[in-house]
A and B are shown apart, each in its own frame.
Chain A
């Protein structure tokens, strides 16, 4: 007799064996949400959504939505860099955006993403910090870059970085006394480069690469690779986390795919 002892409905099967359920799809080259393995979710970028901020943007990647606002404030410069302003990026994952997050102090994930973005902004010198100097040793501009996640469906790093870059790109600092946005008392932030990223999940021992993982794919995957590139195609950062080991070939494929993706994302960001 070939009849199995139990039969499951697809949704029960998905709940009991999420990885096996997923594998049935990936072996056919598709994913349960209908995407191909290397396709990214539809992405939209809106500029200047918050009028109280100096610069702002909203980015949506599939079900993940991030709102980012830049606020400029005057502060004393750091002792070791008296002629430089500074950037303070922060990513907030509040319990509103997913039932995964608990109220309370920032989660480990939120802090890790904030720090990763901080490093990218600092190390790839996105802004010339000397532009933010008002008077050497006395006063500089501090840019508080706050990205608030309002809906979480995986791949927060790509969404947050894109939102932050779009908000900075949109940023204008009004020197006090200035009235209109385009008079001589205000200046636009000049970005030296715009790093954008593409994230991939590594699934299974077969090292199946899933582009732009959503929240279920993130939980069943064994690791993630994030590749950050600027507009000339130069690498600004490569991060690989998780237990899955990955080969040179996988990394190469990811970089290739990331190049295409960031180019497409840049296109979306530049249409106003």
Chain B
């Protein structure tokens, strides 16, 4: 067989996970001293750093909105992050598209009317890429925005799911993602279970979509628990330090 087996006869995936199992998530907030808010997130071997600056004075006068803040998202992929080294320019269409996904995901969630005439800058740096960059970027941004103290109506939790050979599976890694699997990324507001982003760019049978969607939604809920724990632990830690 020419293709690598993505699913073992026992139903385990290539990295030994079960279909509905997330990779190990490591997350911390407040990692950068210079930024107003920052977060570092690992989904298995995918590592993303997010920094939030602002709300601050908008850089270009022309862009200022008098009744709310503007969001600015910039995504940077470190040249050593992928298997093949590729010089990705600042204007790489793929990166711009991903940045605009993140921006559009957060625009309805951030209460921008609280910060009129200002700008919120979100800088994302992908340090290592092993599948699921968009979900990692969205999750890291949520945590960095919370760390910066920017008002939001809810968390935004993202998760990918796809149809791997004969089963639906969540949180695809790079090998699964690149071997002709259809992949769906969804971003969800966990409290209201509303979906703010869905993205899929490959063929998937309509009958399978519902199952994939359901799994991705469950993945988002699991993500939410991990992220919420990190945020709460951090807040408790701060509260303890301030009390002393």
Chain B, residue nearest A54 (CB) = B80
Once the chains are docked, how many angstroms separate the CA of A65 from the CA of B49?
12
Which residues from 74 to 100 on chain B have a C-beta closer than 8 Å to any C-beta of chain A?
74, 76, 78-83, 85, 90
Residues of A within 8 A of B202 (CB): none
Determine chain A's interface SS by DSSP, over half rule.
Answer: loop
Contact B49 A150 (CB under 8 A): yes
Determine chain B's interface SS by DSSP, over half rule.
Answer: loop
Residues of B within 8 A of A250 (CB): none
Contact A63 B128 (CB under 8 A): no
Residues of B within 8 A of A144 (CB): 79-80, 85
Tell me whether A71 and B34 are in contact in the complex, defined as CB-CB below 8 angstroms, given that A51-B128, A95-B74, A103-B74 are known contacts.
no
Contact A71 B80 (CB under 8 A): yes
Residues of A within 8 A of B (CB): 50-53, 56, 63, 65, 67, 69-71, 73, 90, 92, 94-99, 102-105, 144, 146, 148, 150-153
Residues of B within 8 A of A152 (CB): 34
Once the chains are docked, how many angstroms separate the CA of A90 from the CA of B87?
12
Contact B49 A69 (CB under 8 A): no
Q: Among B31, B90, B127, B129, which residue has its beta carbon within 8 angstroms of that of A67?
A: B127
Chain B, residue nearest A150 (CB) = B49
Chain B, residue nearest A71 (CB) = B85
Residues of B within 8 A of A (CB): 31-35, 45, 47, 49, 51, 53, 56, 59, 74, 76, 78-83, 85, 90, 121, 123-125, 127-130
A-B contact count (CB 8 A): 82
6 extra interface residue pairs, beta carbon distance < 8 Å, beyond A50-B80, A52-B82, A90-B79: A52-B81, A52-B83, A52-B130, A95-B53, A96-B123, A97-B34
Q: Among A56, A92, A103, A151, which residue has its beta carbon within 8 angstroms of that of B34?
A: A151
Contact A52 B32 (CB under 8 A): no
27 cross-chain CB contacts under 8 A:
A50-B128, A51-B45, A52-B45, A52-B81, A52-B128, A52-B129, A56-B80, A63-B33, A67-B127, A69-B81, A94-B123, A94-B125, A95-B74, A96-B32, A99-B34, A99-B56, A104-B90, A144-B79, A144-B85, A148-B78, A150-B32, A150-B49, A150-B127, A151-B32, A151-B33, A151-B35, A153-B33
Once the chains are docked, how many angstroms separate the CA of A207 from the CA of B34?
29
Contact B85 A73 (CB under 8 A): yes
Residues of A within 8 A of B53 (CB): 95, 99
Residues of B within 8 A of A151 (CB): 31-35
Residues of B within 8 A of A63 (CB): 33-34
Contact A96 B35 (CB under 8 A): yes
Residues of B within 8 A of A56 (CB): 80
Once the chains are docked, how many angstroms separate the CA of A89 from the CA of B132?
29
Contact A146 B80 (CB under 8 A): yes
Contact B79 A103 (CB under 8 A): no
Interface-centre pick from A144, A151, A152 (highest chain B CB count, 10 A): A151
Residues of B within 8 A of A73 (CB): 85
Chain A, residue nearest B82 (CB) = A52
